[in-house]
Amino acid sequence: MGKTRRLIFAASFVAILVLSSAGAVFGATLTAYTVWPETNYHAVGLLLFAEKVEEYTKGEVVLNVESAGSLGFQGPDLLRAVRDGSVHIAEMVTTGVAGDETIFGIRSLPFMIDDWDSARDFDGMAKKYYNEAAKEWGQKILYIAPWPFAGLWTQKEINSIGDMKGLKTRTFDRNGALIMTAVGATPLAMPFSECYTSLATGVIDSIITSGTTIRDGKLWEVLKYYYPIKMSITTSMTNMNLKAFEKLTKSQQEVIEKASAEVEEYLWQLARQEEEGNLKICEEHGCTIMKVDQGMQDELKKLGEKVSGEWIDKNPKAKPLYDVFCNKYNH
């Protein structure tokens, strides 16, 4: 990643645009942002994207990658940050920005997707709808890539739905919170950066997430058990400010799209490896990978269907996409 340059910090983004007499951009230095540390594979993907863009444009377009939330924006801020031009490009978890644009919350409807192939298929179906929504926010989706399946990580052993009652669980979206509420647990929302301390001090005793974030935060030090319930498989999208994109020359735009397609494919392959590799790492550090009781899984799926139906009723904009997917997979 040696070609990727970094900003030490700027209160706002810095853009250097060299204009021709006709107004087209010959060269541009743009800011790309992620809240994740460089060890996270989504951050790795953004760094790779920056490297490819610089290489393919022969240095005409340079992306300064800011990782680990260095500019202060949190996940829910990023749709607005790209729209406002505070950053030109940002990798964002779709469910994290669903508070601003509800259709992006559909990917985490509980227990709707339970394997990698249907997850990839869903994202192919979703691009049309996602791009329409992104355009309304003044941005263009460059690429979409998944997170591994989210399961339940706990400090105590769980053998049934009844055992979930009383858990204090950090959830990453409203749909997960509704499931935990339905089983008698208390869902809490908090930034990822606060999870370790909250687990260590008893503010929470469980978390719904993937092995990737457990590894990133070394949460195996404060958790004991993992239940692969596959509550959801969320995704990240990397978006670019539309005005910044349109200022580039046609050939530069084509390079952006080429690099985007290559990085998307790379991250899909990497995500599957991440799931297996990170669970192994967590197990090596003392977490026990538990087998989920089928009766418990079936009960959770029924709750998921109820939550999904209610969510779709409240978010009619997402219904056409939901119907297309469910009709194909007989949900």
The answer, yes or no, to whether residue 1 has pLDDT greater than 80, is no
Q: What's the distance, CA 196 to chain centroid?
A: 20
Domains 16-147+234-276 and 150-232+288-329 share a fold: yes
Output the CATH code of domain 150-232+288-329: 3.40.190.170
What percentage of the chain carries pLDDT values higher than 90?
A: 82
The answer, yes or no, to whether residue 20 has pLDDT greater than 60, is no
* pLDDT one-digit tens code per residue, 61-106: 999 999 999 999 999 999 999 999 999 999 999 988 998 999 999 9
Global pTM reads 0.84
* Residue range 8-35: mean pLDDT, rounded: 59
Fold of the domain spanning 16-147+234-276: D-Maltodextrin-Binding Protein; domain 2 (3.40.190)
Instruction: Sketch the domain layout of the chain as residue ranges.
Output: 16-147+234-276, 150-232+288-329
* Residue range 8-18: mean pLDDT, rounded: 39
* pLDDT one-digit tens code per residue, 28-70: 999 999 999 998 999 999 999 999 999 999 999 999 999 999 9
